[in-house]
Every structure is written in structure tokens, then in C-alpha cells.
Structure 1
Amino acid sequence: MKPLLSLLLIGLVLASCGTQPQEQKEEEGKKTDTKYQENWESLSAHNEAPEWFSDAKFGIYFHWGVYSVPAYSSEWYPYHMYRDGKVKDYHIKTYGPLSEFNYHDFVPMFKGSKFDAEDWAQLFMDAGAKFAGPCSQHHDGFAMWDSEVNPWNSVDKGPHKDITGLMAKAIKDRNMKFISTFHHARNLQRHGGDPDKFDTYHSHFAHVPGTATASTDKEIAKMYGNIPAGEFNEYWFAQLKEVIDQYSPDIIWFDVWLRMIPLEYRQKFAAYYLNEAKKKNQDVIIAYKQAALPKSVGVLDIEQGGKKDLSESVWLTDITLSNKSWSYIEGQTYKTPKMVVRNMIDVWSKNGVVLLNVSPTADGVINQEQRSTLKRIGEWMKKYAEAVYETRPYLIKGFGNSKVEEGKHGGQSATQKYTAKDARFLQSKDGKFLYLFVLGEPKPGSVISTKELGVHKYYPEAGIKKITLMGSDTECKWGFGDINFELTVPDAEMDDIANVFRMELN
């Protein structure tokens, strides 16, 4: 009887193992030691949004490069200077005809003499960022790192400094995560030899005979993307591999044109990055736009905006501190701390993370206007850190009457105008606290009233023990009307950006 009983017990154990919940199998799949293969099924075993990313909430990067030298119009200066319009007219008037002065002639003028990686990293950290890094290569083909495959790099030319390497060290030394962004998928000239397509939108540099964009010199042709598509695809991957091998970024972020890179190269990149990260015990992120990657492989980024409602999956938005351009230009103006922080709170309430861009001058100066705004953002972030970092969305995003403005790249605008009549929620990971963010400066004695926290809707199941105004720890009066939850604003000093009420649950 004993052997039979043992066999029965073994059978029960095996049966229970075969019926484990799908969620458990998926989690175990993400922890597998199996090498990632170059296909979406294998790559989807990767945890596309690790917990540290949801905890971080806020990162900073910068558009800084050769395009910062003319400081005119935008970082798309090289695109427009070879096409009819105001930028081309300005270029010819200021620097001479295109046959004599091309985009690569700006490279020796890009000196970055005042660049200070330690100062920048500390500035970003003090602003409250938990991850930071450079735009490692924009559409213009200039690499901001010590490259062996790209002759147009910041060590061999221009500043003669390893910008990406110096920033990686300074950022990681401060226990921040490191992001490296890539926009170089757009660098290839995609005219296919057809003169009618020499200025196609999907080529950053128009092919203009008589200028450097049409040069057959191997080095010059590389910068302008005037090389065969097959060669370019290998070049695209080789540059990513260099940055992965040399700097081990925690996030690699891609701009829109990633989808124009053949599928096999996107998969080749993802497999290489994730396998290298596994060797280094890194939980890394691949950020993408639109439909360039499956959502099971990367984190979706929405440019200059965000989702309109609460999202089940974690997402990212990249936004500017400036009003006119991603790069520094003469006459640039900047958003106020109120505008930036209030819109960030809205993003967080919907399960989003914010990547804020700053724009240094060509000589490597982040000007005082940007520094002052970052300082004020940092003060606010420090004051309300408990309610921001390591928190999660609530059952609903919040309430209010702000009219949603459409974003240019999907979702809503990143410049929504919020007031004290708008509010958003976040909750602590342990579920013990609910945080109510009022996106303005409510008047003491006024009543914040909402049916969204009514007992019939989204009032916490555990109930509320007490409510305090963060920053003063002043306890607040609260209760219920016939329908609405009501909170009386205490007689205490209010923050002019946004105020947070901590709700301690039973």
C-alpha cells in the first residue's frame, strides 16, 4: 500500500504544478535565465516596466548638439537648411551659400567649453529627477559619445569630450538611473535614387547635388546618411551596441522613426540589449513611440502630452521645459514651474512617468531661466516626496473642470491649464495612504467637494482615519454631504504650485 500511496502523492504534486495560475507562469517567465531570442515572443518575457520605473516618476534629459550652434528655429535646423524656407534663407544670409558652408561645418564651432557633467547631474538630481541622461544622437548623425564606428563623434570632433560617458558616470555616481536617447533612425536618406524624392520628409537631410548631402566621400556621406540602406541598418545597430557596451544605460529611448528600421534589426537590438542587461543584473527599459514595438516589449512614450485617462500599463511622456524648441535657440522662452508640475501630477495620476527636456547653449551652459525653474520644481518635489515617489495610481485619476486640449502627437496637451478646482489622486504602495493633489492654491476655509469620493463611488473601502495638509501637518475637517465628499481647506499657508492632502486610511 505504501508504494501506491507514494505514487498518488507524486501525481497530485505534479498535477498541481501543471495548473498554476497564468499570472504566476508569466512572472516566472520574466525571471527565466533563458537567453532572449530575436523574436517578439521571446522578447516579451522581459518585464517591460520594472518597478523602479513606476517608483521614479520623473527624469530629465537634454537636446544638445551641433544644431545648438546656429541656435535658430529648432533642432531641425539641418532638415530645413537644405529645403526652401526661412531657415535656408537665414543660413545663406548668415553663413554663406550651401555649396560653401554645410551642416558639418558647424561641428568645429560646437565646442562645449563650459560643459560640466557633475554640475548638470547635480542640477537634475536637485530638481527631483530619478533618472537622467543625454540625447546621445539626434537625426543629424552626430554621436555624443566616444565612437569607433561613427567618425562624427564628440571625442574626435567638436567638444573633444565623451559627453555620454561623462554624464553616465556623474548620474550613476548619484544613484540615479541612466537614460540614453536615440533619434538616428531618421538619418538615412530614403530617396532610393529617385530625384523626385530627394527631399522626402523621411530623409532628415535632403539630397541636394552640389552640397555635402550628396557627397560620396565615405566620412561625409556617413553624417548625411548618404549610404545604402543595408549599410545604414548595420550602422544603426552598431552605434547602439557601442553605447550598450560602453555605458550600460538603464533606459534606451527611441524617437518616432524607429519603425522605419527593418523588423529584424529592431529585434536584433532588443535581444542584444536585454541579454547584456541580464548579464549585468539590470532591469532595463526600451521606450518607443506609436507602434514601433509591441507593448509587451517596451514602454510607450507620448510626445508633449499624455493619456487622457487612467492606464493599466505604465507609460512615458517626453516634454519640454521650453516653449519653442527642444534645443536652445535665441529668444527661447520657458514654462513656469506651475505649468510643469501640475501637468506632471496629471501624468502620474494616470500611471505615467515624465521625461523633461532642457536645452543647453552650444558652449555648454544651462541658462539661469531653466535653472531657476528646475530649482523650484525640486523644492516642490522634496516637500511632497512621500506623495510622489514610490506611489501608484488610485481607482480614478481625480476630478475637476479643466478642459482637455488635444496634443499634437496623440492624447492631451502637456500644457493643460489647471486651477485649484482640479484635483488628482495617488496612493501609497501599501495602500495605507491616499493623496489628494489640488492643482492650485485653494483658499483657506473653502470646501473641496466631489462626488467621486462619495460613499457610493470611490471612497476608500477601509475608510479614512484622518486628513492632514502636507507641509504643515495641519489636520483638516472632512465629512459627507448628501452626495459629495467634503474637505474644508485649513487656515494654513498654501503652496502656489499645488497642494497635497494626506488621507490616512483605517
Structure 2
Amino acid sequence: MTAQSRLPEWARDASFGIFVHWGPYSVPAWAEPTGAWGAVPPEEWFAHNAYAEWYANTVRIAGSPAEAHQREEHGGAPYDSFLDRWKAEEYSPSDWAALFAAAGADYVIPVTKHHDGVTLWDAPGSGDLTTVARGPKRDLLAPLADAVRAEGIRFGVYYSGGLDWAFTDFPPLETMEHVDDYRPVDDAYARYATGHVRDLIDRYRPSVIWNDIEWPDAGKADGTLDALMAHYRAVVPDGIVNDRWGTDLWDYRTSEYSHDTQNEAGVGWEHNRGLGFSFGFNQLEDESLTLGPRELARLYADIVSRGGRLLLNIGPKASGEIPAVQRRTLEGISAWMGEVKPLTIGRSPVAADAVTASSPSGEAPWFRAWRVGDRIVVVVDSADTVVTATGEVVRVQLPE
């Protein structure tokens, strides 16, 4: 079975999703902007992690800059204290949803539990590690689900099934080789994670379940993961799941920044990344480290032309405010996306020799193309690019 045949019509037509990483890590909001995942040497990655949402792990690595930052800026306070300091006092789900809709989002996937173990709803069995019991003191998911659906956008959920640092007492991850050693695999965690995801299904009926890293081995072995998926298919018949369960369970493949790019093949795959190098809000990422509207449009056109979807992350501040540098990009691309998004419905890749382009300078110009019905959509970088193709051409220029 191909990825294309696994996907329902809505997912085949979708081309743009919004990821939302928001948690206690949004309080310190700090990571070294060292580079893209997959481009930084693996032996350097964990101690110099560019992902702010991994702060709870990075600060435990002796001698890491994050450990020094935590000591100097927060007096070495335990990571757990950030949950109590997280108030979400400016959270406006309707504002988020309107912004995402204007930018052309087909679906929105918030983190419901990241590796720190904190859930954004009153998840069964989670005790006080929830935003209902502490910090914001409320369910952060339900109002967002309602708001995005009111805008005609599908709602999905991210869940970290592979790592939970609150559930385990493993040492910090410092090398890729230890990822499999330091994840919970036993029956107790399998029951815990299964209960969480089943509750997410029953409460929010998500169109996407985006699991991360792995799934506890006990749950794969005893059939409870299969039963969970059967329940999901029954509750949400056109729902889809990603490929990070550690087993042959997936409706589509994923890539992330420069990692797993071998999955960017065929039709129906999904590329996910942040506007900067981090998913969680990183206060160090200014405009120079954040994709602008033109860069984002170019990335989107490239992914669509190759048969994929872009899942772009937004990292709100702890208050719930979407950082100005990120809002600038979404607002700046909205008009362009309004023009190009209708031209992606029913798309398919074109042969490499189906379109040629030239420029007065004689240099090979940048362009990307795909087919929609009898037309070929060509996105060009410059107004003076000359496009030649067999059949009707719809030409779209990148935003200035």
C-alpha cells in the first residue's frame, strides 16, 4: 500500500499544517541556536540542543551552556517549577485560529504532552502534572480545538509516546545511542500512554495523531497499540497517524529539518520544522534566525512540488502571545497563500523535463512546478523568469 492510498481525500489535498509547541519550557524559552536538526554533528547535538522544548534534558547535562544558563538566570531551580510559573494569561485561541486560517492552514496540531511529561489537559493518571492542576489551571486544548474548527481547520494532536522524563528517572540523553535505552518500555508506561491517547481520541476526535519518537514496547507486544488504533479508526474514520510508533504503523512518512529526508519521496509525506531552529519559543531567535515570508513561500513551494505537505511550527510565549517575529511571517505570507493554496488541490508532481525556465541574465533561475488537472502551476523567484511548458501554465511569483 502506498502513502497516497493510505490517505483520505482531505489529507491528499492538504498542503499546510500548523504545529504548536507550548509548555513549561516556554517560560525559560532558551536554547542555543546552533543549527538545524540533522545538520549539527550528533555528538554535539544534545549538549548544545537548539530545541528549547528539550530544555529539561539539556539543563541536566553537566557543563552544557543550558546548565549554566539555568544556574545564572533561574538560580538552578528545578524544571518542575516552570509549570507553576506558566500562566497563559494572554492565551486567545480565537486569535490563534484566525491567524492560522489567514495563513492558509489546513490542520493544526498542538503538543498535548511533550517529553517533560506535562499534559495540556487533565489527562487520566497524570496527577498534578497537568495544566488543569497547576500553572494555567485549565484545559488548553478544548478551546483551541473549538476555535480552529470554527475557522474550518482540522484539529490534530501531538503526543510524546517515546519519552517521558517525569515518568522515568533515567540520566539525561547525551548521545543518540542512548535514546532507545532511556525511553520507558514497560507495561506500566504502556497503560499510562494508552490511557492518555484514548482520552485524547474520545474528547477531541483529532484528525491527526502525531506520535513522537516511539511507543512503549510492552504496548506493541501485547496488542494494546493495535486495539488503540482500531478504536481511533472507529471514532475518526478519516483520521490519520504519522510514522513514529516504532512499528509498521503509519499513514504517512515524516521528515524534520535536515533529518529523515529519505522519507521525502512519492506523494503524501510531511516535512515539519520551526520558523527558526527551535520548536518551543526561543527568546534568542530574532528575525535573522527566523524564516521570513519569502523564505517560507519558497520552502512551501518546494515541498508541494515534490508531493509533500509542510507542517510549520509556531512557538508561543508562556503568556500565550505569538511572538512578533513569528506573527510577522504568518501575516506576511497570508495574501500569497490565498493566491496559491487553491492551486494545490488535486496536485501531482510533474516530470523533471516538463517545465523549463530561463532568465535574461543567462543564469538558471529558481522555480518549482506541479500539475493540477490540465494545468501546470509554476512558482518563480523573479518577474523576468521565462517559463516554457507543454499545456496551460499558471504562473505565481514569490512574495517580495
The bucket for the TM-score relative to the shorter chain is 0.7 to 0.9
Deviation per residue, 1:335-376 (Å, 9 max, x gap):
111111111111111111110001110111002221121012
Which residue is 1:77 aligned to?
55
8 Å contact from structure 2 (residues 132, 138) kept in 1: yes
**TM value normalised by structure 2:** 0.81
Deviation per residue, 1:71-92 (Å, 9 max, x gap):
1112111001122111112212
Which residue is 1:92 aligned to?
71
**Any unmatched runs of 5+ in structure 2?**
32-51, 358-362
Query: Which of 442, 454, 463 is matched with 2:383 structurally?
Result: 442
Give the C-alpha shift of residue 47 in structure 1: 5.9
Within 5 A, what are the aligned runs for 1:214-229? 229=186
CA distance in 2, matches of 1:274, 1:242: 14
1:300 partner amino acid: R
Give the C-alpha shift of residue 186 in structure 1: 1.1
8 Å contact from structure 2 (residues 161, 216) kept in 1: no
1:394 partner amino acid: V
Deviation per residue, 1:7-37 (Å, 9 max, x gap):
xxxxxxxxxxxxxxxxxxx8xxxxxxxxxxx
CA distance in 1, matches of 2:115, 2:256: 16
Give the 3-state SS of the residue equivalent to 1:365 in structure 2. Answer: coil
| Root mean square deviation, CA, Å | 3.3
Q: How many residues of Structure 1 are paired with residues of Structure 2 in the alignment?
A: 366
8 Å contact from structure 2 (residues 232, 239) kept in 1: no
Give the C-alpha shift of residue 314 in structure 1: 1.5
Q: Is 2:338 the counterpart of 1:385? A: no
Which residue is 1:103 aligned to?
79
CA shift in 2, pair 1:298/1:118, >3 Å: same
Q: Is 2:113 the counterpart of 1:140? A: no
Give the C-alpha shift of residue 311 in structure 1: 3.0
2:99 partner amino acid: L
Give the C-alpha shift of residue 136 in structure 1: 1.1
CA distance in 2, matches of 1:329, 1:179: 24
Give the 3-state SS of the residue equivalent to 1:288 in structure 2. Answer: coil
8 Å contact from structure 2 (residues 3, 269) kept in 1: no
8 Å contact from structure 1 (residues 287, 299) kept in 2: yes
Give the C-alpha shift of residue 386 in structure 1: 2.8
CA shift in 2, pair 1:70/1:176, >3 Å: same
Which residue is 2:144 aligned to?
167
Give the 3-state SS of the residue equivalent to 1:72 in structure 2. Answer: coil
Deviation per residue, 1:197-253 (Å, 9 max, x gap):
73454789x99xxxxxxxxxxxxxxxxx9x893312211111111111110100011
CA shift in 2, pair 1:279/1:142, >3 Å: closer
Which residue is 1:427 aligned to?
371
Give the C-alpha shift of residue 399 in structure 1: 6.9
2:278 partner amino acid: S
Q: Is 2:173 the counterpart of 1:234? A: no
Q: Which has the higher contact order (CA 8 A, sep 6+)?
A: 2
Give the C-alpha shift of residue 161 in structure 1: 2.0
8 Å contact from structure 1 (residues 420, 442) kept in 2: no
Query: Which of 180, 197, 205 is matched with 1:248 structurally?
Result: 205
CA distance in 2, matches of 1:185, 1:399: 43
Q: Is 2:195 the counterpart of 1:292? A: no
Query: Which of 493, 496, 505 is matched with 2:399 structurally?
Result: 496
8 Å contact from structure 1 (residues 139, 186) kept in 2: yes
CA distance in 1, matches of 2:229, 2:353: 34
**Any unmatched runs of 5+ in structure 1?**
1-25, 27-43, 208-224, 402-418, 454-458, 471-493, 498-506
CA distance in 2, matches of 1:338, 1:326: 20
8 Å contact from structure 2 (residues 369, 377) kept in 1: yes
Which residue is 2:48 aligned to?
none
**TM value normalised by structure 1:** 0.65
CA distance in 1, matches of 2:120, 2:146: 14
Give the 3-state SS of the residue equivalent to 1:253 in structure 2. Answer: strand
CA shift in 2, pair 1:425/1:310, >3 Å: farther
- Aligned identity (percent) is 23
Q: Is 2:275 the counterpart of 1:321? A: yes
CA distance in 2, matches of 1:310, 1:276: 26
2:327 partner amino acid: R
CA distance in 1, matches of 2:101, 2:16: 10
CA shift in 2, pair 1:158/1:57, >3 Å: same
CA shift in 2, pair 1:67/1:347, >3 Å: same
Deviation per residue, 1:391-449 (Å, 9 max, x gap):
22223497789xxxxxxxxxxxxxxxxx9812222222xx32221222x1132xx5346
8 Å contact from structure 1 (residues 349, 393) kept in 2: yes
- Give 1 or 2 for the bigger CA radius of gyration: 1
Give the C-alpha shift of residue 283 in structure 1: 0.4
